[in-house]
Amino acid sequence: MRISVRNIVVAGALSAVAILLGATRLGFIPFVLGVSITIMHVPVIIGAVLEGPVVGTIIGLLFGLFSLIWAHVAPTGTGDIYFQNPLISVVPRLFIGLLAYLAYRLVKQPQVWPSILVLLVIIALAVVGPVVAYATPVLGGDAGLQTLVLICSLVLGTLALAGLGIVLWRRGELVAVGTAAVVGTLTNTVLVLGMLGLLSTLNWVSPPLPWEVLLAVGLTNGIPEIIAAVLITVAVVAAWKQIEFGRRGARILRNP
Amino acid sequence: MSDFEVLRTLSFGQYLPTGSILHRLDPRVRLTGVVLLALALMVNPGPAVGLLGIVLALGLLLLARVPLGHALRSLRPLLPLFAIVLALQMLFYPHRAALAAGSPLVWQWGPIVVSAASLVGALAMMLRMVAIVLLLTLLTGIADTTDLVHAVEGMLRPFQRLGLPAHELALVLAITMRFIPLLGRELERLMKAQAARGADFGRGRGNFLSRARRMLPLLIPLFLAALRRAEELALAIEARGYAGGRGRTCLVRLRMRPADFLALGIALALAALLVFLDRGG
């Protein structure tokens, strides 16, 4: 594995930003009912987009290790009890950079036909999945599992449709960056909560959390987290690469 | 004004050069030993383990001549979490299964039951957290950042054969630790500058989206400052002819002495004891 000096330094600087966001609580934006959503993983996405998957993974590792240590020395909320487990705080974070980078490349220089094929397969699975779950006895009529399959299919299907739209529509740099932010955030949310659910079923964390609670957390936190991550990632990358977008010029000139 | 004191939230632990036996060990042994003990505590959930871990950590702190008052102060942020642990255990613990398995009933109010097993679980978690925080205070007391970076590099070196860039990863860690206070000061300046222009971060009214947008004038300059400093540092490093870890020599060569092997052996034995003690708990 070759790492350039630039890679090393950017990884170090963005890891420091991630740690700073966590320690100062700036990385947590208050949402409804005292729940905060996190944007601490945004440096990982930015690192992956600017410098590639290796840098993204290194930032993810340092961010994960930091959240593991911080969950012990300065815990602030419910989640910190679970982040004291390295399987939840470190392992999922290793994948944010890689997947965000893949999404970025895929949109920026799309291998159009293969990606359309993959997305169509995902959409087909999202249609077939609920049909199989509800109409056949595969799941043994378990209502909870059926709902889980339905919701997962809905989320996956919507995302695949959106991806299809992006691939067919245009391949601007910022669209690619935004897609990377969506995929990176989803990776963080899904893998952290999935790991938590898996360990709960195995009874490795105490107290174990039921899948329904995790699903609710995933939906209420995941969606605003995606919005915030896209907003910040696109703004930072556009400013760094000096790409103009949105309203040009000062507002005062527009209103004579 | 305390809102702007970013750097204060960043400090945890403090290096205390007391020159004790532990300070004189090889940095790799210091890091590995503490990490092994902490991992052992994370693996085994029993309450007796947490208690033993606390005793061990206190013993090591005494051995390192770290003032106990300093170590105990680091436990303060844990206190509010204990209430959350208790509440969570009561809410989500599978009480009925525990009762069926023979755990005595502690409290019942309508449909809410609290089993003794859940309280034991909560106690075990609290003891474990205290032990781990004491161990981390010990680590920051006996190893400064240079020690830690050397230790990480030394420990990753065996994996170099598998293609892991050990030296580069250690350098990333060193840069991260150097950048945290730098960017912290930058952030303080940004916050004051924006507040002087009437900004209001995170708090105040407005829906979620507008609150997120209000963070942008702070976050974008912070990211850009980090990237710009990184760019400058990369240029500076390359200008000095740095060429990575290959063929690089060190001023301080780490060598394991008999005392280091002995300490590592003791740490391993203690970690094994913690892992296998009281497995049922």
CA distance A178 to A50: 13
Q: Are A17 and B226 in contact (CB under 8 A)?
A: yes
Q: How confident is the model over B19-57, as pLDDT tens digits?
A: 888 888 888 889 989 999 988 888 877 778 888 889 999
Of A15, A72, A78, nearest to B129 by CB-CB distance is A72
Q: How far B123 CA lies from chain A's nearest CA (Å)?
A: 11
Residue with tokens 């760019």: B231
CA A131 vs. chain centroid, Å, equals 28
Domain count, chain A: 1
Q: Which residue has the higher pLDDT, A55 or A133?
A: A55
Measured distance CA(A107)–CA(A119) in Å, rounded: 12
User: A-contacting residues of B 108-167, CB under 8 Å?
Assistant: 118, 121, 125, 129, 132-133, 136, 163-165
| Nearest chain A residue to B185, by CA | A20
Q: What is the pLDDT of residues B150-167, one digit of tens each?
A: 888 888 888 888 878 888
Please say whether the beta carbons of A84 and A72 come within 8 A: yes
Is the residue at A131 inside a domain? Answer: no
* Structural domain contains residue A155: no
> Touching check for B92 and chain A: CB below 8 Å?
yes
A56 in a structural domain: yes
Q: Of the candidates B92, B132, B213, which has its C-beta nearest A207's C-beta?
A: B92
ipTM: 0.83
Is the Cβ pair B237, A23 closer than 8 Å?
no
Asked whether residue A127 is domain-assigned, the answer is: no
Q: Is residue A152 part of a domain?
A: no
Per residue in A99-132, pLDDT (tens digit) is 999 889 888 876 667 777 888 888 888 888 888 7
Paired strand residues for A30: A36
The answer as to whether A96 is a domain residue is yes
Residue A11 lies in a domain: yes
Domain span holding position A216: 5-112+171-242
Q: Does A148 touch chain B (CB under 8 A)?
A: no
Dump pLDDT digits (tens) for B225-252. Answer: 999 999 999 999 999 888 776 777 777 7
Which is nearest to B222 in space by CA: A18, A245, A37?
A18
- Look up the pTM and report it: 0.82
Could you tell me the CATH number of the domain that includes residue A50?
Answer: 1.10.1760.20
- What DSSP designation does B23 have? G
In a domain, A214, yes or no: yes
Counted residue by residue, chain A has a size of: 256
Tokens of B30: 């210091």
pLDDT at residue number B228? 94
Say if residues B31 and B143 touch (Cβ distance below 8 Å).
yes
